[in-house]
């Protein structure tokens, strides 16, 4: 089954758009995107794994073509929606591929339902303080003082120029970066209300950091098969964050690639090969 299907699921009255591919009886893989992207970030990866896995990639609430949540959106709420979504689409036991915002979402699912998670692939999906770069300083300032001034300062992260920079920073040859990804991201960021949701999530990210010890305890206790595939030039999540998984999961595999934050834009084939070598089938 090579066709990718584009569907929408009703999750308690909330519409979640998602991509689905692969044979229904194949091992299941849930793909969770990050900021400021959507499920289209997996457009190159899915065809490379479709013979091996049954894959579903949702647009998180407030992203892509999924419904926009109300003001005050939190990562707890996003994880709760994705948790219920997995039940709606019949994902009972599955591996997770987490990137950026997908990591605190997926790690919440894992800590809540460790029996459901068969393996974890983390692409620049952080769970350790040492993985946070100085690029987080403006957001940290908002955590410490959630004033309107500090909130307004974060709007620079939502500009079209910043989105393009996130895709190109740390990439040795930027002509390899398709404009498709960042152009779609900027289109969706321009949806009415999207800016306020994103600013709310910047503020709430402090609660992800507060959960790092709980995530790490899950890793130590359950030791899921774990693969980190990391763009080593990421301006937000440092290589030390990838290596740190080995503290709690000694058998974790860590692969670095000479690229930036959106590693799939330049290394989809290499990452697919690492997953094929790593995940059971």
Compute φ and ψ for 119, nearest 5 degrees: -175, 165
CA distance 56 to 52: 13
- Alpha helices (H) along the chain: 45-49, 75-88, 102-112, 137-144, 148-153, 160-168, 179-189, 194-210, 212-222, 239-243, 245-248, 264-278
CA distance 279 to 53: 10
Q: Identify the active-site residue in 40, 54, 261, 267.
A: 261
Residue whose pair of structure tokens reads 């308690």 in the numeric block: 12
List all residues 6 or more positions away from 184 whose beta carbon is below 8 Å from its beta carbon: 37, 38, 40
**Which helix (H) or strand (E) segment is 58 a member of?**
strand 54-58
Cβ-count burial 212-223 (b if 16+ within 10 Å, e if not): beebbebbeeee
> Is 222 assigned a catalytic role?
no
Compute φ and ψ for 230, nearest 5 degrees: -130, 125
Q: Residue 192 is encoded by which pair of tokens? A: 């009415």
Q: Which residues are catalytic?
A: 261
């Amino acid at each position: 089954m090579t066709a990718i299907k584009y569907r929408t699921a009703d999750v308690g009255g909330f519409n979640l758009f998602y991509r689905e591919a692969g044979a229904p009886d194949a091992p299941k893989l849930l793909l969770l995107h990050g900021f400021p992207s959507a499920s289209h970030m997996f457009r190159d990866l899915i065809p490379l794994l479709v013979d091996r896995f049954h894959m579903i990639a949702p647009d998180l609430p407030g992203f892509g073509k999924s419904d926009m949540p109300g003001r005050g959106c939190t990562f707890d709420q996003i994880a709760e929606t994705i948790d219920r979504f997995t039940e709606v689409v019949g994902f009972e036991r599955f591996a997770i591929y987490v990137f950026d915002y997908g990591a605190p979402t997926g790690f919440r699912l894992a800590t809540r339902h460790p029996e459901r998670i068969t393996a974890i692939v983390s692409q620049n999906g952080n769970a350790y303080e040492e993985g946070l770069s100085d690029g987080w300083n403006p957001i940290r300032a908002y955590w410490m003082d959630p004033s309107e001034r500090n909130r307004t300062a974060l709007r620079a992260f939502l500009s079209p120029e910043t989105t393009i920079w996130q895709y190109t920073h740390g990439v040795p040859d930027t002509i390899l970066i398709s404009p498709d990804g960042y152009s779609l991201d900027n289109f969706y960021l321009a949806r009415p209300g999207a800016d306020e949701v994103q600013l709310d999530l910047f503020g709430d990210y402090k609660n992800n950091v507060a959960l790092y010890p709980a995530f790490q305890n899950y890793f130590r206790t359950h030791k899921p098969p774990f693969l980190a595939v990391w763009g080593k030039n990421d301006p937000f999540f440092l290589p030390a964050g990838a290596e740190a998984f080995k503290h709690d999961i000694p058998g974790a595999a860590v692969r670095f690639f000479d690229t930036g934050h959106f590693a799939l834009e330049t290394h989809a084939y290499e990452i697919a090969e690492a997953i094929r070598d790593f995940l059971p089938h």
